[in-house]
Structure 1
Amino acid sequence: MLHYTYLLINFFTVIICFVFSFHPKIKFNRHFAAFFKASFIVALVFIIWDIWFTKRGVWWFNDMYLLGIRIYNLPIEEILFFFCIPFSCIFTYFCLDKFFKLDWKPFPEKVFVIISIVSALGIAVCFHDKIYTFITFLTTAISMFILYFMLKSRWIGKASFIYFILMPGFLGVNGILTGTGLESPIVNYNPENFLGIRMLTIPIEDTVYGYEMILWNIYLFLKFKKNDQFISEEK
């Protein structure tokens, strides 16, 4: 049964959101196509990142908790992770945005984005010798700059607040993956490659990694969703 652990984590992460996607007051199922197009593009980038880090020994996986099916040395469960986690996050974003007004005023959002970019860049520079820390904080800073200043995304404050709301779920899922409640972690990290600051058993870099992944999923989801609606109206 231990071999199904990571697979079950993915399953329980997504199943409730999937079921409620068909609720008549939510109707998220109408946007499945937009979600899968967005998540596939983002997943492709993060899977390549994952493959590279795994090859370099930045992190590795405990076979005790895996089915044993691998693609480019990545467990199939790890690949599914890049679809299951975004599904739950995008579903939550969609629901909260649908029923609540969570938009930030322009000035506070701009200040938040600038402070976040500067802070992330500062951490990347200070810890450039730790590859997980350096790449995660650097790419997150670049992503936020592109999304806010170049692509004019004005939902980053709202998305950040929702990501904070999702943090207990993140701590639960990532906590198990990194060893909380288990005899040994499912995902192991080379201590030379990250700061060593953990939230429970979770490297602080994981929270930033997840944040960057969700921002791009939201951006592409909203873009594809808008395009799909435009096509439907034309028909």
Structure 2
Amino acid sequence: MNYIYLLINIAVLFFPLVLSFDKKVHFFSKWRFVLPAILITGLVFLVWDLLFVKLNVWSFNPDYLIGLSFFGLPLEEILFFLTVPYACIFIYECLNAYFPSNYLQKYSLALSHLILGISIAVLFFGFNRWYTLINFGFLFLVLVYVEYVNKLRFMYKFYRAYLVSLIPFYIVNGFLTAIPVVIYNSKEILGFKVGTIPFEDHFYLMSLLLMNIYLYEFFKSKTAKKA
């Protein structure tokens, strides 16, 4: 029973890792861009995670952990920021390789406007809840930078990958919140849930995926310029 969270991490990573050698996607050849993107983003989110533990925004059920922790965070939670981004970037690259035509291209700016509007509205009503405040505040800042300051154009590809990533998200996060492995402080979230998954988690995934993919594209572009 205490291996549950660890097994979830292994399951998330298993198929993307095995399929990384697919000839069309050739994902293993892009690891030199994937790994620094994951490590930089992971560091940011680990600090965020540690802060939330200190603020009692969420906690972890010891019944489903192996008992190893670093800086107050379970090993499994640290691995989460490696396995989930790897799987999501893999989904992103698979979609780009197998489905180059992307009808979201003409709507991506409108989607960004919509998400920024949602973020402002949620911040207005939920500014007194830590998870809501930091989650939507961070997403707002990252999205503004990526969409309006950054010159790399990939948001239409990002949104498609995000929508597809919601499928495993509902399975994995649904499991983590239903058992529960992760326990949320009801005073620090809006209280609206999809099943057992807090509304904020959907945008937490968006922030995590957006920062990873931005850095991934950034490192790829740097290499392309040198070439």
Q: Establish whether TM, by shorter chain, passes 0.5.
A: yes
2:5 maps to 1:6: yes
Q: 1:225 is matched by which residue type in structure 2?
A: K
Does the CA-based 8 Å contact 2:108-2:159 persist in structure 1?
no
Q: Tell me the distance in 2 between the aligned counterparts of 1:117 and 1:97.
A: 25
SS of match in other structure, 1:16: helix
Aligned match of 1:201: 196
AA aligned to 1:102 is: N
Query: Can you list the C-alpha shifts for 1:158-193, whole angstroms capped at 9, x where unaligned?
Result: 3122211221210000011112xx3xx100000000
TM-score (structure 2 length as normaliser): 0.95
Aligned position for 1:65: 64
Report how far residue 95 of structure 1 moved. 1.0
Other structure's SS at 1:188 match: strand
Q: Distance in 2 between matches of 1:217 and 1:96?
A: 16
Instruction: Measure, in 1, the Cα distance between the counterparts of 2:52 and 2:29.
Output: 36
Contact 2:104 2:160 in 1 (8 A): no
Match among 165, 185, 193 for residue 190 of structure 1: 185
TM-score normalised according to structure 1 size: 0.92
1:85 and 1:173, CA in 2 relative to 1: closer, same or farther beyond 3 A? same
Q: How far 1:103 moved relative to its partner?
A: 5.9
After TM superposition, give the deviation of residue 79 of structure 1 in Å: 0.4
In the TM superposition, residue 227 of structure 1 has moved relative to its aligned partner by 2.9
Counterpart-to-counterpart distance in 2, 1:161 and 1:27: 20
Identity %: 34
1:230, distance to aligned residue in structure 2 (A): 4.9
The count of residues paired between Structure 1 and Structure 2 equals 226
Question: How far apart are 1:86 and its partner, in Å?
Answer: 0.4
CA deviation profile, 1:113-161 (whole Å, cap 9, x unmatched): 1121122111112111111111111211111101010113432233122
| Whole-angstrom CA distance in 1 between matches of 2:195 and 2:125 | 24
- The equivalent of 1:221 in structure 2 is 216
Stretches of structure 2 lacking an aligned partner (at least 5 in a row): none
- State which drifts further: 93-102 or 59-68: 93-102
